[in-house]
Structure 1
Amino acid sequence: MASQFLKYAVLLQKYRTPLLVVSCGGVFAANMLYHVFPDKSYRPLYQAWYKGEPVTLSEKLEGVFQQVLKDYGISSTKNFSSFASFGFHPVGAGVPWLPAGAQIGIPANFNSTPDDLSGITNRSIFINGETVDWSSDTGSALKGALVFSPEAQKFAMAREVARLQAGGPVLNAAVAPFCLGGVWVYSVLLKQVFGLHAGPLLVRGAVNVLALSLGAVSYLLTSDAVNQWIDYSSDRRAASLSHDYAKGGVEFYDKILCRNKIVRTLMGQKGEEMYASSGNLFPAHLHKLKHTSYTSRREGILTLLNKDKV
Structure 2
Amino acid sequence: MNRKKASKPLFSYFTTPFGRKLTFIAAGTTTVGLFIGNFIPHTFFLDKYQEFVQCYKDGIPRPVPPEIKERLERAMNILNVPAYERRVLKPFTVYGFDMFSAGSTKSKYGGIIGIPTNYSYTSIDNIDRSEIRFRTEQIKWGSESGQMLQEALVLKEDEQIFGMCKTILEMQTQRVLLNSAFPSISFLAVYSVGSYLNQRMNLLAKPISLRLVMYAILGLFGVGSWSFMKDYNQVLYETSIDKQISTLGPDFVDAGRRFYDKLLKKNMALRALIGDDTYTSKGNENFYLRQKTLPLTIHKAFFEEEWNKLKGENQEAAQ
TM-score w.r.t. length of structure 2 = 0.83
Equivalent pair of 2:146/2:273 in contact (CA under 8 Å): no
* Percent identical residues: 23
Match of 2:112, SS state, is strand
Query: Quick one: which of 234, 241, 244 aligns to 1:237?
Result: 244
Shift of 1:166: 0.4
Give matches, 1:1-310, under 5 Å. Answer: 1-10=7-16, 11-14=18-21, 19-37=26-44, 39-75=46-82, 76=84, 77-114=86-123, 117-118=125-126, 120-126=127-133, 131-134=138-141, 136-188=143-195, 190-191=197-198, 195-196=201-202, 199-200=205-206, 202=208, 203-268=210-275, 270=276, 273-283=277-287, 286-289=288-291, 291-305=293-307
Residue 274 of structure 1: SS of its match in structure 2? coil
Give the Cα separation in 1 of the matches to 2:77 and 2:138. Answer: 40
CA distance in 2 between partners of 1:296 and 1:146 (Å): 21
Q: RMSD of the TM alignment (CA)?
A: 2.8
Query: Shift of the alpha carbon at 1:227?
Result: 2.8
Q: Deviations over 1:260-284 (max 9, x none)?
A: 111222123x2xx22222111212x
What displacement does 1:197 show? Answer: 5.9
Alpha-carbon contact 1:146-1:259 (below 8 Å) kept:
yes
In the alignment, is the contact (CA less than 8 A) between 1:32 and 1:170 conserved in 2?
yes
Cα distance, 1:215–1:101 mapped onto 2, change above 3 Å:
same
Amino acid at match of 1:94: G
The verdict on how the C-alpha distance between 1:103 and 1:129 changes in structure 2, with shifts beyond 3 A counting, is closer
Q: Unaligned regions of 5+ residues in structure 1, if any?
A: none
Residue range with higher mean Cα deviation, 196-205 or 73-82 = 196-205
Is residue 155–residue 239 contact of structure 1 (8 Å, CA) maintained in 2? Answer: no
Distance in 2, Cα, partners of 1:180 & 1:29:
14
Deviation (angstroms), 1:181: 1.4
SS of equivalent residue, structure 2 residue 122: coil
1:257 is displaced (CA, Å) by 0.8
CA distance in 2, matches of 1:195, 1:135: 68
Displacement of 1:15 in angstroms is 5.8
Measured in 1, the distance between the counterparts of 2:19 and 2:40 equals 27
Supply the AA of the counterpart residue of 1:294: L
Mapped partners of 2:198, 2:97: distance in 1: 51
TM-superposed CA distance for 1:291, in Å, is 4.9
From the superposition, tell whether residues 69 and 37 of structure 1 become closer, same or farther in structure 2 (CA, over 3 Å).
farther
Question: 1:182 Cα deviation (Å)?
Answer: 1.8
Structure 2 letter corresponding to 1:179: S
Say how many residue pairs are matched: 302
TM-score normalised by the chain length of structure 1:
0.85
Please say which structure displays the higher CA radius of gyration: 2
| Cα contact 1:159–1:237 (8 A) shared by 2 | no
Whole-angstrom CA distance in 1 between matches of 2:270 and 2:113 = 25
Name the SS for the 2:81 alignment partner: coil
The answer to whether the 8 Å contact 2:71/2:161 transfers is: yes
Shift in Å, 1:134: 3.8
Distance change >3 Å, CA 138–CA 161, structure 1 → 2: same
The offset of 1:218, in angstroms, is 2.0
The answer to whether the 8 Å contact 1:38/1:103 transfers is no
Q: Distance in 1 between matches of 2:13 and 2:150?
A: 65
Query: Aligned partners of 1:263 and 1:188: how far apart in 2?
Result: 49
Q: Is the 8 A contact 1:142 1:259 kept in 2?
A: yes
Q: Give how far 1:141 is off.
A: 2.4
Measure how far apart 1:304 and its partner are. Answer: 4.2
